[in-house]
């Protein structure tokens, strides 16, 4: 039986094992998916377990989406362009990194009919997931900037500067508001209310404070499910042909 896993630091909040178990059913394959919490020093040895056949694939989450790249034999073009990896597979005797976050967020924007072209888009945070969000928004024609407490380049503004900007699309790519530290938001309520669309990459809790403030339902579960589908397509070398909307609704019901 093939074994897959999510690699990260603190993973108690993750729904990934359940999400992937549902996709395994649709692919009609027997496999397991677990969570592996590790330190940065353990990352290399865990990646090497792909070479021995102990594991068949990994997803990578906070805070290792950039760090994992140094342990790979090859990196796919989209992951190289983005500068982050969240899916790792062993193919042709090589450990290869991909970025399915990009596919997940791009597909989420289309799923929710978010207007992006020529719109003012802001991403809260500058971590690995935010890089995939940036490319998706740019590819859909958005005018995109990052928001950081310590802006260091022309593509980044401060939270203070955000207060005086027109905001069409606001994406929270920070862990602020994630379980168990719920009830807090990375921005003032007035900023969240002013944005036309607010999306949060966090999926636990289902409704974060920033989403409550904005009266938005666009949490990170949709992105999580759609990027998981892409990861499975990479690992299984198969196209997922089932209805993605039905899969998302089934997973939502299963998590209630």
Catalytic residue among 65, 119, 135, 230: 65
**Closest among 31, 50, 139, 126 to 88, alpha carbons compared:** 50
Q: What is the dihedral of CA 94, 35, 136, 256, to 10 degrees?
A: 150
Q: What is the dihedral of CA 215, 221, 224, 225, to 10 degrees?
A: -130
d(CA 46, CA 42): 6
Distances in whole angstroms, Cα of residue 256 to Cα of each of 143, 237, 247, 250: 36, 31, 15, 10
**Closest among 22, 89, 23, 35 to 62, alpha carbons compared:** 35
Catalytic site residue 65?
Answer: yes
Q: Is 226 exposed, middle or buried (0-12, 13-18, 19+ CB in 10 A)?
A: buried
Which of the residues are catalytic?
A: 65
């Amino acid at each position: 039986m093939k074994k897959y896993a999510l690699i990260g630091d603190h993973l108690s909040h993750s729904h990934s094992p359940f999400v992937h178990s549902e996709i395994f059913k649709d692919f009609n394959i027997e496999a397991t998916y677990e969570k592996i919490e590790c330190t940065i020093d353990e990352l290399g040895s865990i990646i090497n377990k792909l070479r021995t056949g102990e594991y068949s694939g990994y997803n990578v989450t906070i805070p290792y989406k950039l760090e994992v790249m140094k342990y790979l034999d090859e990196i796919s073009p989209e992951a190289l362009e983005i500068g982050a990896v969240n899916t790792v597979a062993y193919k042709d005797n090589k450990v290869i990194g991909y970025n399915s976050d990009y596919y997940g967020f791009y597909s989420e924007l289309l799923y929710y009919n978010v207007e992006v072209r020529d719109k003012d888009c802001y991403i809260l945070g500058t971590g690995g997931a935010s890089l995939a969000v940036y490319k998706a928004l740019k590819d859909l024609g958005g005018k995109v900037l990052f928001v950081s407490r310590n802006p260091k380049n022309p593509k980044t503004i401060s939270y203070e500067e955000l207060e005086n900007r027109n905001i069409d699309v606001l994406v929270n790519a920070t862990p602020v508001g994630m379980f168990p530290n719920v009830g807090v938001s990375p921005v003032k309520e007035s900023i969240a209310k002013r944005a036309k669309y607010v999306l949060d990459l966090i999926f636990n809790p289902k409704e974060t404070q920033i989403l409550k403030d904005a009266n938005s339902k666009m949490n990170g579960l949709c992105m999580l499910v759609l990027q998981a589908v892409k990861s499975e397509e990479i690992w299984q070398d198969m196209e997922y042909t089932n209805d993605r909307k039905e899969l998302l609704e089934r997973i939502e019901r299963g998590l209630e």
